[in-house]
Amino acid sequence: MKKTLFIVAITALLFIQCGKDNNPFSIQKGAIGNLTKDIQMKQIDSLFANDSIVKLNPIKDAIGTQGEVEIYEKGGNKLLLLSPADESDPNSKITNVQVFDSRYQTDKGLNSASRFKDIKANYTISDVQTTINAVVVFLEGSDVFVTIDKKELPENLRYNPTITVEPSQIPDEAAFKYFYIGWDIDDSKPSE
């Protein structure tokens, strides 16, 4: 009897622990919820079976999911935009995930509704790249990168696309224009 109770207790603890680790909105290295960097586009339909999948560039006579897709909750909230390495290959892995829903967050609470001060408080910035209309902020040791519109920057930094922007020049209250997860695909591994 004691052995049976012990086994039941251990099994219950394992299920509780597995449930904690399986947060569908958790952003971790190599994963966002149940989506990992090893998932192929053809697996998206089963992975997001309870959500709506919108194919942005439907490929005629395509076998499986190909090209960029948007994921919506059944209630209509836009969750994610998934971009594969090769839009014409259903075996292609995902290289970029644009996150729209702020429930997706890192273990340090960073999400699409965060501000630049949240990055400064919790992360080391590995690089800031300037584009024509925005700056892209990359985080050390993380798959997350964010884009901040130049309208959020001081006036003297807005109009020169070649100017170097330092993290200290970005205002704490700067909002994110885009919140991305980027995965490098190892081309040496064959697709399954």
**What is the rounded distance in angstroms from the CA atom of residue 23 to the CA atom of residue 65?**
25
Instruction: Walk along the chain (192 residues) and give the pLDDT tens digit of each residue.
Output: 555 544 544 544 444 444 445 789 999 999 999 999 999 999 999 999 999 998 887 666 655 566 899 999 988 999 999 999 998 888 999 999 999 999 999 999 999 999 999 999 999 999 999 999 999 999 999 999 999 999 999 999 998 888 999 999 999 999 999 999 999 866 434 444
pTM of the model: 0.81
Question: Shortest CA distance to 39 belongs to which of 5, 70, 82?
Answer: 82
